[in-house]
Amino acid sequence: MSVIKLNESVINSANGKLSNTISKLSSAENELSQLASQLDYRVRSRSSADTRLRSLCNDLEELKDQLKKIERFVSSKSGQYFDVEDYLEKYGFRQISMLRYYDFALAKDPFFMMALAGSGLGFLSGTFRSETLLRYKGLRFTTVERNGKIYLKVLGGEIGQGNSWQYNRYRDSLVNLLGGDSSTFRRRFAERLVNGGGIPLYVDGRGTINDNMRRFERLSTVNQFIEDYDKSAWTRMKNGFNPSLVDGMKVWQDFGGWKEATNLSRTGKFFGAAGTVLTVGNNFVENFRSNGHWDFSLENTKTFTVNTGVDVATGAGAMAAGAAIGSFIAPPIGTVVGVAAGATFNFLINTKVGGPPPKSVVDHTKDFVNDLIDNPVDAIGDRAAAVGEKIGDVAKGAGKLVNNIGKGLGNLFGG
């Protein structure tokens, strides 16, 4: 991409000459008009000179108007251009193409825009999923902890007394989503789920109510929360972390399965695919472009492959860490909190600091893995200290995040 730059003095000079030409045309028009008025009427009537001169004056007037429009346009737009150029030069972006600015943003990310874009797309991708928000076609679920029990309830609906149409609609929606048949969700059961306080899935001292849980086992986030409710904190975090990490590594899933997905999940898939494209695109430019030129060498191809793998793995790890936090809170609130925490972790580990050049935890990890492949022995000692220092900074930020989430949830639930 070439750099385009206008010369202000040349433009002003050309516009000045255009203004002089307009003045000369105006003078010529006046002289012709005077000449036409001074011609003897017998000459005018015999040769049609009057008509021809006035036609010429009209043509000159039209030409003058067109030239004036060009003069005003050039003066206005060139002024806007040079105002913008002065602003860019003032803040250090002098004579820089979009691709060169993209190189600059990748290298230094001075306003954290790259880190924000990646974590933002991760948050949107994780949130806009039916399994995250427990929203499906015609059904919106929530779990409620009350008096030592955990209930599952459908929000925003009603089955009117004696209204068979409403009951049949909910029953058919439940069967389509969760399986079974019409006898699986009888009227009294459906009314408790929709109209009442919900269906109990867990009772303190008794544990899981298996007969009810079997009906909702396809709601994976609810099922996992109930299964882990009595388990140790470590087990709950592990069971929240591991599946999320595996799913996060399967970035290709966002590019398929659209036909079977709900509209909500399609939105999440779109943001997930956009995040993957952004990650691959950033690494493509960063690894194959150097000093304004493209270089598709074998070494750069290796670095591109390693760096993309590190980005995918660290992104999945950050979201999995968030899922571990969210595992302590009933869905869908817990899953949303987990996604938000994971996106925050992702932002922290991708924020470039220090330097020069500034680097993030992910950047240091990429350097370490690349050095480990090239020089296994030397890489461990040199890079481990740098990564450890950055992880320490992130840990402090994560600690503040968890503390703030805890305070917020305490306020939310009246703690």
User: What pLDDT, on a 0 to 100 scale, did the predictor assign at position 115?
Assistant: 80
Q: Residue 276: phi, psi to the nearest 5?
A: -65, -45
Residue 99 has pLDDT above 90, yes or no: no
* Amino acid identity at 144: V
Query: Which pLDDT tens digit goes with each residue over 284-325?
Result: 888 887 777 788 888 889 889 999 999 999 999 999 999 999
CB 339 within 8 A of CB 125: no
SS3 103: helix
Round to whole Å and give the CA distance between 170 and 158: 9
HEC string of 117-160 equals HHHHHHHHHHHCCHHHHCEECCEEEEEEEECCEEEEEECCCCCC
- What pLDDT does residue 39 have? 67
Residue type at 14?
Answer: A
pLDDT over threshold 50, residue 46: yes
Angle among Cα 224, 227, 233 to the nearest 5 degrees reads 90
- Lookup: tokens for 344: 């925050």
How many Cα neighbours within 13 Å face the side chain of 243? 12
- Residue 96 sits at the vertex; the CA angle it makes with 91 and 100, to the nearest 5 degrees, is 115
pLDDT of residue 385: 55
Lowest mean pLDDT across 114-118, 200-204, 214-218, 405-409: 405-409
What pLDDT band is residue 386 in, cutting at 50, 70 and 90?
low
> What is the rounded distance in angstroms from the CA atom of residue 136 to the CA atom of residue 74?
57
Q: pTM for this one?
A: 0.65
> Given pLDDT bands bounded at 50, 70 and 90, which one contains residue 222?
very high
Tell me how far apart the alpha carbons of residues 264 and 258 are, in angstroms, rounded to a whole number. Answer: 11
Say if residues 208 and 173 touch (Cβ distance below 8 Å).
no
Q: Half-sphere exposure of residue 128, counting CA atoms within 13 Å on the CB side?
A: 20
| pLDDT of 174 above 70 | yes
CA–CA separation, 258 and 267 (whole Å): 10
pLDDT at 123 over 80: yes
- Bridge-based pairing of strands 207-208 and 199-203 is antiparallel
Residue 135: both structure tokens together:
């929203």
Task: For the chain, give the number of residues.
Answer: 415
Q: Which long-range contacts does 12-15 make (Cβ < 8 Å, 24+ apart)?
A: 12/78, 14/74, 15/71, 15/74, 15/75, 15/78
- Rounded-to-integer distance, Cα 394 and Cα 345, Å: 8
Region of poorest pLDDT, from 225-239, 268-282, 380-394: 380-394
Whole-number pLDDT of residue 2: 45
332, 357, 345: which is closest to 391 by C-alpha? Answer: 345
Backbone dihedral angles phi then psi of residue 217, each to the nearest 5 degrees: -65, -20
Residue 197 in 3-state DSSP? coil
User: Of 3-7, 96-100, 269-273, which one has max mean pLDDT?
Assistant: 269-273
Q: What is the DSSP letter of 307?
A: H
